[in-house]
Structure 1
Amino acid sequence: MKEVDHFEEFSDAEKARLEGTVWRKLDRWVLPVCTIFYLLSFLDRSNIANARVAGMQTSLKISNYQYSIALTMTYVPYIAAEFPSNLLLKYVGPRWMLPTMVTIWGLVATMQGVVKSYSGLLACRFFLGLMEGGLFPGLVLYMSFFYPRERLQIRVATFFASASLSGAFSGLLAAAIMNINGKGGRPGWAWIFIIEGMFTFVFGLIAFLVLPNSPATARFFSTKERNYVMAKLKADGAVAGDDKSDGFKWIEVIRCCQSIHVWLLAPVLFFLGTTLYGLAYFEPTIVAGLGYTGNKAQLMSAPPFAFAFVVSMITAVISDRYKCRGFMLIFFSVCNLVGFIMFYASKSNHVRYGSLFLTISGSYCGAPPVITWVANNSAPHIRRATSVAIAFIMTNSGGILATWLLGSLSPAPNYTKATITFIIMSVGMVVLSTATLAYLWHQNRLKAERRQCGTPEDEPEGLGDQSAWFIYNL
């Protein structure tokens, strides 16, 4: 069948029929793999919090300070890997690169269950971060190869929501695994790492068989479906109109670094990363400090994450339908603010536990709109890859701060300094998100005025050959 380059060449009847099939096929073949990848990533990185409650810290004889060092050790290579990994993804091929990363870190995660010393734990955390570093930015970039901009957030939210689901799943799974405490001469906390890590390793091997490189090579598409998806992506601006335009150019990296909206959102991502990873790594410990002990602490850590998962999916549908990424981000920033104020101001353990539903939802549900916002408003490929990498560098830099804020700088159970810091960061998120929304709205108004004057190519941000079609998503 002849390749169709332009979306307009399809008849209305063909568009209606293909719209009903192509995205469902992608949702069956691509989205579940990406979702499980990220669920396993977050599970293998954050289950150290459950292992800590289960006795790891006592067994390895490590202090709170050393625990913070171990968490920090994960983030140094994690951050270093993000930018080069994103640039390499398209050229190595996501079909090979993503499953390879998953398989290797599954082995490393498993090895955490056999360490006998603090130095062994540090080594495992270093290589875990190195292998996981490119996954989330790589998944966002990979998904942008398949879905047009207006369909992207619900998919990003789906696999990112697996992070909150992993928080719930991790607590429940840890409680179940503790029943085999002592089996094989290993404590329960070791089995948490071994069982969860081995599942990751096996799934990584399976992914080699099912993950496509791009819509153009997806075996589950017919020729017409493949042409339709590629034409739709080109019409939307999600991909360049030709392969040459998507080749590596340093000028696109520079243009990304000149984009005002990227740097307005960079501090938001840093603040969000601090709150998100702080809750990911310390929520079981916070729950234990509210009077719950043993397996009950593991079980009670699950409901706030399960609630965040449901909220994330609902709001992602709303955000995609009404294209309101900025408003969603502002809403969840306010949720964060209210939740942290509740935790700081109240002495009631019940109120403090209730505040976790707001703060975990605010952090976990705020991430999909801001990440999608950055990806949607960056093109072509190299500029998008750079902006997404910057987003995750900032997010994971916040993770480093979180490990110290709650790990040793702010004592349990009140975490006073950390909570005050989170309140200030939540205010900053509201202010900067509002400023970004206003800026993008202003840029779109300028574009509309230039089109009316017949000069759409005159762009204040140097969008180059993208300027004729590119409208910022709000």
Structure 2
Amino acid sequence: MSERKLITKIDLRVIPVLSVLYLLAFLDRTNVANAAIFGLQKDLGLSATQYSTALTVFFVPYIIFEIPSNLILKRLRPHVWLSICMFGFGLVTVCQGLVQGYGGLITTRFFLGLFEAGMFPGSFYLIGMWYKRSEAQKRYTFFFASTTLAGAFGGLLASAIGKMDGLRGYLGWRWVFIIEGSFTCLIGIIWFFLIPDFVEDAKWLTEPEREYVKQRLRDDQGKSAIERRITTKDILNCFKDYKVFLGGLMYFGLIVPAYGYAYFAPTIIKSYGYSNIGTQLHSVPPWAAAFGFSMLIAVFSDRLRHRFLFAIIPICIAVAGFAILMTVHDNHHTEYGALFLVTSGCYAAMPIIVCWFTMNLGGHHRRSVGTAWQVGFGNIGGIIASYSFEAADAKSFFHKGYSISLAFISLSAVSCVLYLLACMSQNRSRAKTPDVGITEYEKVELGDMNPDYRYML
């Protein structure tokens, strides 16, 4: 089999399965925004602060359990752990549609965050162990773009489900959770048999194919050391590298505007004067545009084998979108158009940043810990985003939320520049320093910190 056919075979098995998994995870995480339009807050008697707190509670276990989840994934194998988590957050979503008050909503949001903690870093970690650095961005972006498809699909689905209001005594917002959660549970059972494991355990590849894939990855990234269990020392050593903290800040800065939009887009769009159903339908096009733009950026990024410019340009586009939203208050068409810039910019830059950082980490140990750290730390921004926008802010044209988003996206831009300079500096330093007295075993243990490794810029 030729290399091209083999990569296509891997693409068809790895990327669609993980993309559907994360699409459903993001849908079940953010459908609370669609439910709010159909009366969730009024029916449960929630104040604006209580609603924001319910959004925030999700991120507490989601942040804490990112790294432990990746360690469990490596030990149990991806198809076991990810399918368990998938069924779990689907079941919790169904329960979210049955709650009777604030306490029940808080509880279900907590467990939703717990079960979803491993989805994103686990999938990114797994994808990174299948592809070379120069070919990973298109795959990462297609996977990540499932969030934009989830946003678009969620709006369409919610507009349809909303018409079930009152069916069997349940309000429309409850059906949003019940139907979407039940579908996730069903897919979770099927996905147990479809989620791919690491290359070394892939039964759907022949032995020669597995060896070929492992060799091409060794040539690109060095040996992975999958056979050794990750220790506490490995985790601590990872945090001795200051670039790890820059990776977290790059993602953290984008999470605030990204989740601010994901959770409050229906509220923002409704302020333009649309009906409930019209609001859901108008939430779809910005997400669809973000999908197309992010894939275009990814294709060029892989073709040119460069990451920095393809992260900073979308960030600038998002900044332009927020600048328009903060200054234009008398033209709803222009404001709505600015939402396209915000979604396209944020959701195109995020997968570039995560891929750039993840694929610059060498070996299973540093990649497992580093990926989970970046996503876990970054999602602290979700807590900030939960309190950034409120329905009452429509009177001030959501100035507070837009200002916060603009500040944090600027932080991401600065962090990207610093990470670029750090990678350039270490590449130059290693080129000048000869490789003296380091064994092959030590290189494997060092991962990307070994003197032969060169970072992608």
TM-score, length-scaled by structure 1: 0.91
Amino acid at match of 1:131: F
Would you say the 8 A contact 2:289–2:344 is kept in 1?
yes
Deviates more, 1:209-218 or 1:81-90: 209-218
Match 2:230 to one of 245, 248, 252: 248
Would you say the 8 A contact 1:25–1:220 is kept in 2?
no
Matching residue of 2:221: 237
Unaligned runs of 5+ in 1: 1-16
Would you say the 8 A contact 2:363–2:447 is kept in 1?
no
Matching residue of 1:315: 297
Deviates more, 1:130-139 or 1:212-221: 212-221
Matching residue of 1:371: 354
Matching residue of 1:74: 58
Matching residue of 1:6: none
Matching residue of 1:24: 8
Matching residue of 1:399: 382
For the structure 1 residues 456 and 267, does the alpha-carbon distance in structure 2 shift closer, same or farther, using more than 3 Å as the test? Answer: farther
Q: Aligned partners of 1:387, 1:408: CA distance in 2, in Å?
A: 37
Q: CA deviation at 1:243?
A: 4.3
Alignment: residue pair count: 452
**Sequence identity (%):** 37
Unaligned runs of 5+ in 2: none
Amino acid at match of 1:311: F
Q: CA deviation at 1:455?
A: 4.4
The alignment status of 1:389 with 2:364, answered yes or no, reads: no
Q: CA deviation at 1:247?
A: 3.0
Q: Aligned partners of 2:335, 2:288: CA distance in 1, in Å?
A: 17
Query: For residues 3-402 of structure 1, what are the structure 2 equivalents within 5 Å?
Result: 17-237=1-221, 239-240=223-224, 242-244=225-227, 246-347=228-329, 348-402=331-385
Q: CA deviation at 1:322?
A: 1.5
Q: Aligned partners of 2:10, 2:454: CA distance in 1, in Å?
A: 25
Q: Aligned partners of 1:429, 1:392: CA distance in 2, in Å?
A: 14
Q: CA deviation at 1:265?
A: 2.9
Cα-Cα RMSD: 2.1
Q: CA deviation at 1:261?
A: 2.0
Would you say the 8 A contact 1:271–1:395 is kept in 2?
yes
Q: CA deviation at 1:21?
A: 1.7
Would you say the 8 A contact 1:216–1:226 is kept in 2?
yes
Q: Aligned partners of 1:142, 1:420: CA distance in 2, in Å?
A: 36
For the structure 1 residues 215 and 311, does the alpha-carbon distance in structure 2 shift closer, same or farther, using more than 3 Å as the test? Answer: same
Would you say the 8 A contact 1:113–1:194 is kept in 2?
yes
Amino acid at match of 1:382: H
Deviates more, 1:361-370 or 1:422-431: 422-431
Q: Aligned partners of 1:457, 1:316: CA distance in 2, in Å?
A: 36
1:472 partner SS = coil
Q: Aligned partners of 1:390, 1:159: CA distance in 2, in Å?
A: 19
Would you say the 8 A contact 1:274–1:402 is kept in 2?
yes
Q: Aligned partners of 1:311, 1:158: CA distance in 2, in Å?
A: 11
1:351 partner SS = helix
Q: CA deviation at 1:120?
A: 1.3
